[in-house]
Amino acid sequence: MKPDTTTMLRLENVSRSYSGRQVLQNISFSVNAGEFVAVVGPSGCGKTTLLRLLGGHETHDTGTLERCAHTRTIYQQGGLLPWKTALENVAMGLLHIEKSNGKRITLANEMLGSVGMDGYQESYPHQLSGGMRQRVELARALVSGSEILLMDEPFSALDFLTRLKMRSELIRLLKDKEQTVIFVTHDVEEAAQLATRIILLTRRPAAIACEITLPEMERPRSLSHPVVIDTAEKMLNVLGMHV
């Protein structure tokens, strides 16, 4: 069965095991163009494995996985190449997209400017703060114009205030783009602030516990907004963590 024109990703009964231990169990969902889907689950449940399957870095054992566009991933551990400057890292995102090296540099420069990294073009990743590195990584992912953005707990290593700032920045950068985002996180509030839809996974072997569609409104939603508070509470209840 071919996915329809607006479906960017479709999984049907996807399972994955490592050495006989099942990690993902019958995962089925689809993601439409422009959706911001947060995948939430307890630590170690298999969220990163799911993201690797979606990115084509691993293969699933059973089920069907269809992908309608190229993906770009933003990694939890930081996927910038440490031997390249911020500008070179972003320009790498255009390597097989834009043939002219000069044009690649120009576009990478513009993208760095739009993520607020003007003046840091020649800095190496180890010379930047965690938040700055994530901005550069975001720039590399966005500069390619890739339609599907996979984000693996991208802000989890940042301090709370930087994390809040990065959430706003992310939504601002995605505003005028038809970008589809799969955002893996274990932070229920983060998911409720950013997502248009949330897929909640159970403990390992991960299966879908529930799906929550959030009302359309300005994002990122305020942490004190009733929608965020109610959604976070609902997720914690489903996960069996009453607060």
Contacts with other proteins by CB under 8 A lie at 52, 55-57, 71-73, 75, 77, 79, 81-84, 92-93, 95-96, 124-126
Q: Residue 192 Cβ, how far from other proteins at the closest point, in Å? A: 29
CA-nearest of 85, 91, 117 to 104 is 91
Q: How far is the CB of 80 from other proteins (least distance, A)?
A: 8
Which residue's CB is nearer to other proteins, number 45 or number 148? 148
Contacts of 42 (CB under 8 A, 6+ apart): 186, 201, 203, 239
When the beta carbons of 71 and 231 are compared against other proteins, the nearer one is 71
Eight-state DSSP code of residue 34: T
Which CB, 118 or 122, lies closer to other proteins?
Answer: 122
Alpha helices in the chain (DSSP H): 47-55, 86-92, 101-114, 130-143, 160-174, 188-194, 226-238
Provide the CB-side half-sphere exposure for 238 (13 A, CA). 22
Residue placing its CB nearer to other proteins in the complex, 29 or 75: 75
- Find the shortest distance in angstroms from Cβ 138 to other proteins: 14
Provide, rounded to whole angstroms, the least separation between the CB of residue 70 and other proteins: 8
The whole-angstrom separation of Cα 13 and Cα 25 is 7
Under a CB-based contact definition with an 8 Å cutoff, are residues 66 and 148 in contact?
no
We find the least distance from the C-beta atom of residue 180 to other proteins, in angstroms, to be: 16
Q: In the complex with other proteins, which residue's Cβ is closer, 135 or 221?
A: 135
For residues 79 and 7, give the distance between their C-alpha atoms in angstroms, rounded to a whole number. 27
Contact yes or no for 167/155 (Cβ under 8 A): yes
C-beta of 93 vs 220, nearer to other proteins: 93
Closest distance to other proteins from the beta carbon of 147 (Å): 14
